[in-house]
Amino acid sequence: TNLNIVLLLSDVVEQMQIKASQSDVEINYVSDELPEILGDYDRLQQVFINIIHNAIKYSNRGDIIDVVSAIEDNHIVVSIRDYGPGISEIEQKRIFNAFYRVEEDRSRGTDEGGSGLGLYIVKQIVEKHEGKIDIVSQVGEGTNIIVTLPILSVLIYGGDQDEKNAK
Ligand code: ATP
Ligand code: MG
């Protein structure tokens, strides 16, 4: 269905506000005016909930998380930036694998745990929307996760279902 990313992200940011304030982290969201895109609202919400949840998990108390959505060429670009520990280049190649979690994070006392499935699922959903996901991160500086979604895209997600319904 047609959806408005600005509304979707505002919704997600509002949902994550409680979790953020518990960790004494502030989420700051700014956006351009964006055209509607085709996509699955619930799945895309899941994408941004996962990424923002990670950002909160790996932030320090008092940190800010910057969420920005903008339009670039024929794409909507959403960036979620935190000022946490960052992810090394070697780990960046692995964290989209199912069940993968960075070793230091598991052994760190503050780690609240996780299954290591979050980013794996995120990537599947983004790719179903013909989008892509990039990481820009340096250890000690923080992490920027960038999701790019095409504006003129054919909705593949749930396509199988539609085909079934048509029969
Ligand atoms: P789950 O999301 O299933 O609860 P998880 O958060 O550990 O578990 P992913 O979301 O897939 O799993 O992330 C994989 C790993 O990537 C994390 O365990 C963590 O080591 C690293 N990671 C993800 N996001 C960040 C981030 N913003 N900063 C630092 N490390 C991160
Ligand atoms: Mg996660």
Binding site membership of 52 for ligand 1 (Cβ less than 6 Å): no
- Of 160, 82, 158, the closest CA to residue 125 belongs to 158
The ipTM value here is 0.97
Query: How confident is the model at residue 87, as a pLDDT?
Result: 95
- Asked if residues 95 and 87 have their Cβ atoms less than 8 Å apart, the reply is yes
pLDDT confidence bin for 1, thresholds 50/70/90: confident
Overall pTM > 0.95: no
Count Cβ atoms below 10 Å from residue 114 Cβ, excluding itself.
16
Quickly list H helices, 40-88: 41-57
What lies within 8 Å, CB to CB, of 104 at 6+ separation is 85
> Token pair 């600005």 is at which residue?
6
Query: Which mutation among 54, 60, 65, 112 tests ligand 1's pocket best, with the greatest number of atoms within 8 A of CB?
Result: 54
Is pLDDT at 20 greater than 80 in this prediction?
yes
Is pLDDT at 167 greater than 50 in this prediction?
no
- In this prediction, residues 23-32 reach a mean pLDDT of 97
